[in-house]
Structure 1
């Protein structure tokens, strides 16, 4: 049966565009009263923000900035001006255990073949904890043969669902979150609420190490405009039941849903900065080495086009900051192991080999800015990092693949000599062995560098399914 053309009104807004936000809360919950929860879900659906509404919100924000002579940066639709434009967003997603607990079905009755058998994604069905060792998360092998990751207690519990609430200010988000909790009151137990904020001032749009984030997100075919050099992915790489995903057997209710991977990723910022300075000896050399770790300068300028010093104008220009390719077999300009090269090895592999693994990233920083005391001590005292979120139609081709097969694999990109090593930013090793990379030193790109610490450490997460709005209303909710 032919699938109707994509309607943005049917898709939850965070998937295709990212909900506009200055601040965001993630409300993790367990479902206690199944029938009451499904009944109350029908009252929550009108609050769910669609991709259509999100697109309108982002357009209004950008038009406001243009009218008021405020620069519009790449990815800047997510940065809202509080007290000028009030905007909020709500999305919801469910873990496999949440779907199982709720016994959702296409006929609103219990089915012999459960929803988990139908959705056809093993990693989702098993949950992220079962994937933790493969991802390289630190932890311990238990006597019964299972792996116990070193995660926060929140993610060692059984999570059934998460509600994402975004807005222009804490007041806006708190009010909207209170409405969500009121609707679900008596039917769920709160496990935890985690919150993040866009960093202040000139650091807006940058993660805590200081590098501009989200620059190389792909565009979805026939959904948004494409900038020069920006990858374009088939709709089925992001949405179930579309494009290339039609080759996978899915239930009808999965159409226009997406798998969401959530990770809490604390970052050791003072320690990272100290390592760069100790290794490179001068601040200018440390800045260059950090850019080679990431593949971009802090402004977002790619080192392929700004090889020796930062170029903020280039970093801010969405028509130029992605318009480059790596030189296959050559890491003189950009190390093979650089974060953006590991995550998108443009020209190291063919486009057809890369595109099935691309993800839509929608995370937000959390925690306070680094204090003077922390900088002087070169040690983290207050937890900060990234609440990482990404969407894809197949977890084993998306997030899980990128972490295992590219970030953690020392001989990726393949066929390159010397051996690339680990992604210095997110590459992980469960064994705790010292990670290494090559290409960090401009004057000797073959020289290996021991990365004496792991500056990004996963503290847990979960795999969720973000259903379409019609599925939430007509399949998951009951009147």
Structure 2
């Protein structure tokens, strides 16, 4: 489920050192009667289920935090009792009548949990080591990272979101007033949905958040949508295969990433490497190259179903835009890249029938919001990024090693994945990394589907991130009472 508000702020801070007195922060601070839904659900996205559809879920939805909101208070346990009533759980966010004017969620790093006195082994070694230590496994240089993400000094993060900048400021102000000097803000960044018909699209222009799994008991799956057990996303639930402390039930691990997008360079590359389709204009051919890199057109239509031209009607139809599996009558799936390259971003992440049986072990819930300004005319004309922009990305799972880390290391960065194809697929041209070295990919030109293309740069540059434990409300109460 993708819960994305128009405005979002992310703040990271180390542990507080003292606990002074501050005025109470009650539920009415951030909740009021709404006349519009905070959640973006543009055409093409799977519809957010109504509360009635999920009340029979196998897990307690009032005990699961709604967005990736990651908070990091430490030492201030006495004040957290005033903050907990303002946290946005799934049941609150699914019903417009109970949605707050600004949502709030929180999560803690391993360092933050230790600072709070939690020494229990949560049995996720990737989480406990932290993302900075995991960078080599991601084939990623930390030279481009924001300095605050280097090391393990971050204790936690909180995320606020709203469709009103005033409400967002009020929520942040109220929270910081209550927590006061018990926290020290060391880094913050604000995201914002793109304007007009680009709402729900990231800065490259592609509709985001389509290929999400659905959770058993949580709404009705759409055609082509994979259903996963709750334990793939929530700790101590069905098919969470690790042993956890009982108090962690309904919690998740979150991989946060700040991803800088080089949009002018991405466009220049496509213009310099247009598909060679007879009769196709330069602009159409460049757009096709980008679509084949992503595996979707910017409308959300999959190239597997619309291999040469965009189909916005298909892209806007959630009952069709995810209903494909890379097989076609008369085509050999081990050699067919005419419909979709083996290395396309969405194919690397969700290989569907490229794997037999279809993979159910490595799904994550993705959520994100763009940050930074729109591309300027000067940038577009020069082909060079002058102002930073990108995506604040969150991956939710119950095991980072089989979730986010696996997808990046074993699939996106692996030129041999998927195996048993007629050619080496190459790296994911959008997100694949190779420690800063040259990358190659295949299948970008449907007229030469087995041809290799060298990618001259990384179009998505990591600015770093951290791994967090996002507690359920009962887990949060355990943390602050321990």
| TM-score with structure 1 setting the length | 0.84
Quote the residue 1:381 is aligned against: 386
1:52 to 91, 96, 105: 91
8 Å CA contact 1:42–1:478 kept in 2: the answer is no
8 Å CA contact 1:26–1:162 kept in 2: the answer is yes
Quote the residue 1:67 is aligned against: none
Q: CA deviation at 1:325?
A: 0.6
Quote the residue 1:466 is aligned against: 470
Q: Does 1:161 align with 2:156?
A: yes
Quote the residue 1:410 is aligned against: 415
Q: Does 1:397 align with 2:433?
A: no
Q: CA deviation at 1:231?
A: 1.1
Q: Which runs of 5+ in 1 are unaligned?
A: 1-16, 62-84, 105-113, 140-148
2:227 to 212, 232, 235: 232
1:279 to 252, 273, 280: 273
**1: CA distance, partners of 2:174 / 2:188:** 14
Alignment of 1:324-473 (within 5 A): 324-327=324-327, 328-329=333-334, 330-352=336-358, 354-430=359-435, 432-473=436-477
Aligned in 2, Cα 1:87/1:412: closer, same or farther, shift over 3 Å?
same
Aligned in 2, Cα 1:449/1:307: closer, same or farther, shift over 3 Å?
same
Q: CA deviation at 1:155?
A: 0.8
For residues 17-67 of structure 1, the C-alpha deviation after alignment (integer angstroms, 9 at most, x for no partner) is 44441010011111123775111111111111011111113xx69xxxxxx
1:95 to 109, 126, 146: 109
**2: CA distance, partners of 1:229 / 1:34:** 52
Quote the residue 1:136 is aligned against: 139
Quote the residue 2:255 is aligned against: 261
Indicate the larger mover: 272-281 or 119-128.
272-281
8 Å CA contact 1:342–1:412 kept in 2: the answer is yes
SS of the counterpart of 1:270?
helix
Aligned in 2, Cα 1:204/1:351: closer, same or farther, shift over 3 Å?
farther
**2: CA distance, partners of 1:97 / 1:86:** 30
For residues 207-257 of structure 1, the C-alpha deviation after alignment (integer angstroms, 9 at most, x for no partner) is 100111101111111012211111111100100000101x31100111100
Quote the residue 1:43 is aligned against: 82
SS of the counterpart of 2:171?
helix
**2: CA distance, partners of 1:218 / 1:138:** 30
Quote the residue 1:288 is aligned against: 288
Q: Does 1:250 align with 2:249?
A: no
8 Å CA contact 2:258–2:463 kept in 1: the answer is yes
2:125 to 108, 122, 127: 122
8 Å CA contact 2:4–2:368 kept in 1: the answer is no
SS of the counterpart of 2:469?
strand
8 Å CA contact 1:20–1:89 kept in 2: the answer is no
8 Å CA contact 1:20–1:88 kept in 2: the answer is no
**1: CA distance, partners of 2:400 / 2:387:** 32
**2: CA distance, partners of 1:362 / 1:180:** 23
8 Å CA contact 1:86–1:168 kept in 2: the answer is no
Q: CA deviation at 1:179?
A: 1.4
Quote the residue 2:48 is aligned against: none
- Structure 1 stretches of at least 4 aligned residues deviating more than 6 Å after TM superposition: none
8 Å CA contact 1:24–1:196 kept in 2: the answer is yes
**2: CA distance, partners of 1:303 / 1:297:** 7
Aligned in 2, Cα 1:243/1:34: closer, same or farther, shift over 3 Å?
farther
Q: Which runs of 5+ in 2 are unaligned?
A: 20-74, 276-281, 328-332
Q: Could you say what the CA RMSD is over the residues aligned between the two structures, in angstroms?
A: 1.6
Q: CA deviation at 1:86?
A: 7.1
Q: CA deviation at 1:351?
A: 4.8
> Where is the helix percentage greater, Structure 1 or Structure 2?
1
Quote the residue 1:145 is aligned against: none
Alignment of 1:167-182 (within 5 A): 167-182=162-177
Quote the residue 2:30 is aligned against: none
| TM-score with structure 2 setting the length | 0.83
2:204 to 205, 209, 233: 209
Quote the residue 1:68 is aligned against: none
Quote the residue 2:305 is aligned against: 305
